[in-house]
Amino acid sequence: MLHGIVRAIEWSGIIIIVLGLVLGTLRFIWQLRTPDVHDRFRNYRADIGRGILLGLEVLVAADIIATVAIEPSLESLALLAVIVIIRTFLSLSLEVEVSGRWPWQQPHDEVRDRKQSR
């Protein structure tokens, strides 16, 4: 039963990534009417990046469940640690690409608003 649950969660992660790609592409095609090529490309990358980020989070959840509930061994735990490290690095890289800042930094709008309110 747990194998089925893990498979369903893994497929959910894959579907999220594919949907992010499809919806991002549809939005890009819709935005072809706008004259600003730079914004279109940046938005396209951001949309795809968000889909990948969310999908990766779901896939990590499936890996954690599989490791803890199905095969609780030191070898599977070590493999999980490597997978989580790699996916965390990918998530951080994508976050920087999508938002243009590190996750622990404030958005540019908040910084600008604080400076203006002084």
Contact 52, 17 (CB under 8 A): yes
pTM of the model: 0.71
pLDDT higher for 6 or 84?
A: 6
Rounded mean pLDDT, 45-64: 88
Contact 48, 27 (CB under 8 A): no
Rounded mean pLDDT, 17-24: 96
Reply yes or no on whether the pLDDT at 58 is more than 60. Answer: yes
pLDDT tier for residue 55 given thresholds of 50, 70 and 90: very high
- Choose among 55, 59, 52, 62: nearest CA to 94: 52
Mutual angle of helices 37-65 and 2-30, in 10-degree steps: 180
Instruction: Count other C-beta atoms under 10 Å from residue 15's C-beta.
Output: 12
